[in-house]
Amino acid sequence: MKKIIMTVVVLSGVLFAQNAEELIDTNGCLACHAVASKKAAPAFAGIGKRNKRFEGSDAKATIMNAIKNGSKGKYPMFADSAMPAFKNLSQEDLSTLADYILAQSSKAKGRGMGQGMGMGRGMQ
Asked if 99 contacts 20 with a C-beta cutoff of 8 angstroms, the reply is yes
Q: Can residue 96 be called a binding residue for ligand HEC (CB under 6 A)?
A: no
Nearer to ligand HEC (CB atom), residue 37 or residue 71:
71
61 contributes a contact to ligand HEC by CB under 6 A = no
Separation in Å, CA 81 to CA 18, 42, 53, 59, 122: 28, 11, 23, 22, 20
| 63 binds ligand HEC, rule: CB under 6 A | yes
Q: Which stretch binds ligand HEC (CB under 6 A): 6-14, 59-67, 103-111, 112-120?
A: 59-67
Burial 71-81 (b: 16+ CB within 10 A, else e): beebbeebeee
| Segment 29 to 58, residues that bind ligand HEC, using CB under 6 A | 29, 31-33, 40-42, 47, 51
| DSSP state for residue 112 in the 8-state scheme | S
Amino acid (1-letter code) at residue 94: L
Site string for ligand HEC, 65-84 (x = CB under 6 A): -xx---xxxxx--x--xxxx
The helix/strand/coil state of 83 is strand
Q: Please report, as ranges, the residues that interact with ligand HEC according to CB under 6 A.
A: 24, 27-29, 31-33, 40-42, 47, 51, 62-63, 66-67, 71-75, 78, 81-84, 86, 97, 101
